[in-house]
Amino acid sequence: MTGALVPRVLVVVCDSWGVGDAPDAAAYGDEGSDTLGNTAGAVAGIRAPNLASLGLGSLTSIRGVDTAAASGTAHGRATERSAGKDTTTGHWEMMGIRLDEPFPLYPDGFPPDLIEPFEREIGRAVLGNRAASGTEIIAELGEEHLRTGGPIVYTSGDSVFQIAAHKSVVDLPLLYGWSRAARRLLVGPHKVGRVIARPFEGRPGAFVRSPERRDFAVPPPGQTVLDRLQEAGVAVLGVGKIQDIFSSQGITEGRYSDSNDHGVDLTLEYLRRQAPAFVFTNLVDFDSKYGHRNDPEGYAACIEAFDRRLPELIAALDGGVLLLTGDHGCDPTTPPTDHSRERTPLLAAGLPGGPVDLGTRGSFSDLGQTVTDLLGADGTGLEGESFVDLLGIEGSS
What type of residue sits at position 260? Answer: N
Pairing of strands 277-283, 235-239: parallel
For 171-184, what is the mean pLDDT? 98
What type of residue sits at position 41? Answer: G
Half-sphere exposure of 97 (CA within 13 A, CB side): 20
Pairing of strands 277-283, 127-131: unpaired
pLDDT greater than 70 at residue 180: yes
> φ and ψ at 274, to 5 degrees?
-65, 140
Instruction: Please state, for a pLDDT cut of 70, what percent of the chain lies above it.
Output: 99
Q: What is the pLDDT of residue 395?
A: 79
pLDDT tens track for 141-174: 999 999 999 999 999 888 999 999 999 999 999 9
pLDDT tens track for 313-339: 999 999 999 999 999 999 999 998 999
pLDDT greater than 60 at residue 1: no
Q: How does residue 394 score in pLDDT terms, banded at 50, 70 and 90?
A: confident
Burial of 100 (0-12, 13-18, 19+ CB in 10 A): exposed
Identify the structural domains of the chain with CATH numbers, from first to last.
Answer: 8-97+220-390 (3.40.720.10), 112-216 (3.30.70.1250)
DSSP track, 269-314: HHHTSPSSEEEEEEE-HIIIIIITTT-HHHHHHHHHHHHHHHHHHH
pLDDT tens track for 297-307: 999 999 999 99
- For residues 158, 304, 367 and 99, what is the CA-based torsion angle, rounded to 10 degrees? 0
pTM as predicted? 0.92
Q: What is the pLDDT of residue 190?
A: 96
pLDDT greater than 90 at residue 371: yes
Q: What is the pLDDT of residue 397?
A: 55
Closest listed residue to residue 65, CA positions, set 80, 43, 87, 85: 43
Closest listed residue to residue 16, CA positions, set 210, 293, 353: 293
pLDDT tens track for 272-295: 999 999 999 999 999 999 999 999
pLDDT tens track for 18-33: 999 999 999 999 999 9
